Each structure stands twice: as C-alpha cells, then as structure tokens.
Homo-oligomer: A and B are copies of this chain.
Amino acid sequence: MNIYDISAQAGVSIATVSRVLNGSDKVSDLTRRKVLDVIEKNRYMPNAFARSLGLNTMSTAGILCSDASDVYLAQAIYYLERELRNNSYTSMLCCTGHNHQEKEAYLQFLLSRNVDAVFFIGSHFVESSSKKNRYILEAAQKIPVFILNGELAGSNIYSILCDDYAAASDITKLLFSKGSQKPVMLYRILSYSGQKKIRGFLHVCKEHGLEDGDHRTFSCPGPLVETIQILENARKNGLVFDSVVAVDDELAAGAVKYALRNHLRIPEDFQITGYNNSVLAACSTPEITTLDNQLEFMCTTAVSQMIRVLQKQQVPSKTMFSGYIVEHRTTRK
C-alpha cells in the first residue's frame, strides 16, 4: 500500500495525496475528505524511508552514554527522550562503555544512520587529550553536538553543565560548617566533571587549613565492596577522617556501609554527602544528603537548544548553572 494506491482509490493524483498528508491548505475540503477516507479505510501509513530521502531528515537524535543502567544516566535518558519525543524526534540510544575506540565506533554508527543531532551524556566523553576529542569535532561538522555535564570548545558544539566546582565547594563547606574537621573525597575517574569536583573540594579544604588535601581524595572506579575496602585501607594506613564527600550517590552508599560496619554513628560521628539526588540517596538508610544538579533542567535545556540550532537560530556554546544541596540525614542538623 503506497501513495499511488491511495491516489488511485481516491481518484486524485499522488501530489494531492501528499498535500493532504502534509496538511497543505491548497486542497479543497471535499478532496481532503475523500482522500482521508481512503487513507483511513486502508490504514495507510506513508513510508518513512522515502519521506526521509526526500526531506533528508528522519527527525531522529542520537543519545550516547556509557551505561544506560547507571541510575543517573538512566534518568538523563528518560528526560532527554521525553523532550525529544515531545518535539516529534525519535531517540536512538547507544551505550558505549568506557573504551575510547567504542565511543568513536558508536558515534560513527549514529552518524551512518543520519541522525539530526547527537547528545553526549557525561563528561567522560571529553578526554584530556585533544587528539582523542577530534572525533567529536569532526561529527560537529555534520550535525550539532550537545554535551551534557561536560565541556568541549568547538564550532557546532554546545556544552550544558552544572557548575560542579561551585557545587563541590558548597557541599564541602557544608560539612565543615556542620563540624567536620577532616573530610575525604571519593571520586570515580578524572573526568572533566570529576576534576572540577576535586578542585572544589581541595580549595575548601585549604580554606579550612587542611593542607594534606591531596592525600584525602580516592579513586573508586570499582564496585561497592571495593569502595568500602578503599576507606578501610585509608583508615588502616593511619588517615583520620570524619566525613566523606562522594561524587555520586552510589559511592555515598558505599560510605554509609563503611560507617555502619565500623559502628560509626551517622551523622554524629561521621557525615556523608552524595551527588546527583538519585533514587539511591532516597533508598539508603539513613537517607543521604546530596547535591541536585538539576538534571531535568539540563535535559530540557539541551533539547530546546537543539531545536533552535536546527532552526538556524543562535544558541550559546556553553550554558552553566548552579546546583543545590538537598539535606537529608547523613549530615547534622
């Protein structure tokens, strides 16, 4: 069943059917009714491929993330998909993992599908080596690229991110103000946002006279049990700490486990802060004080910027906004 069948049955030309299909006002009501009847009777649906070929777009956007099962990224995917869909765009999802080669391959894969734009969720897509970022710059020559929670300068690249330096500073300040003397920080990897958070933490530590900040940050890329072990080892090695600043809520959940196992009272003896305000912060007992980096706002902003860019309108190449602290029960009153 194609446009010719419909035009034949309705006794009009394919041009008229196409006009009806696309809501042109240059069709008489009578003809329109006639054509619509035939279309409905046959449950006709125009062929998306032919349509795309003519229009050179299928209204699709690519979403690249390392892992759709990560609670934070999953939330971002949810918001992005919702906004895209509300604007009649389909979302093509790709989970790349952390391997650089794979990231490149997946981006090529999306480009080969002629997506109209692509969203990177997470700062780890932006690498410190500019050579490794070339694939993003090249993609941006074809379609607009949006980086959520990360930053990369380049033409046709738009970065939308939370001010993680300020946020990490604020949350570290909060701990000091609640009586913590010796915080430590848990991070995953030295991604762009990871580095910002570490710098914010270190800066505030220094402000409070803690000069050994460099020895108070720990990389925890592995599963929860390893995170706990890292804290155990730090203590065994003689490090004194009475609070944990974690760069995500899962790490914070690890810190909660560490505290409970060692019979440290939360928040009296030991305070913990998470990051992302995810379901994990709410599911933990006690609920974790966390930083809301306004993910929903970030995603809606990104999609509306995409729409603007595709309409050739001007859009800032960098949009940064502040997060806010959500106090729960792992920090003192």
- Residues on A lying within 8 angstroms of B by beta carbon are 45-50, 52-53, 56, 58, 60, 63, 67-71, 74-75, 77-78, 81-82, 85, 90-95, 106, 109-114, 223-224, 250, 253, 256-257, 260, 279-280, 282-285
Q: Provided the pairs A69-B74, A93-B91, A284-B285 are in contact, do residues A47 and B53 lie with their beta carbons within 8 angstroms?
A: yes
Interchain nearest-CB distance for A279 vs B (Å): 7
Closest Cβ of chain B: how far from A142's Cβ, in Å? 9
Nearest first, the 10 A-B pairs at minimum CB distance are: A74-B74, A49-B52, A69-B78, A253-B283, A49-B53, A68-B78, A48-B114, A69-B75, A93-B93, A69-B74
Quick one: which of B52, B77, B106 contacts A69, CB cutoff 8 A? B77
Note all chain B residues with C-beta closer than 8 A to A106: 85
Q: Are A256 and B280 in contact (CB under 8 A)?
A: no
Closest to A63 in B: B93
A45 touches B111 (CB 8 A): yes
Q: Measured between alpha carbons, how far is A223 from B283 in the docked complex, in Å?
A: 10
Take A50-B53, A285-B256 as given contacts and tell me if A90 and B68 are in contact as well, using a CB distance cutoff of 8 Å: no
Contact status B50-A68, CB under 8 Å: no
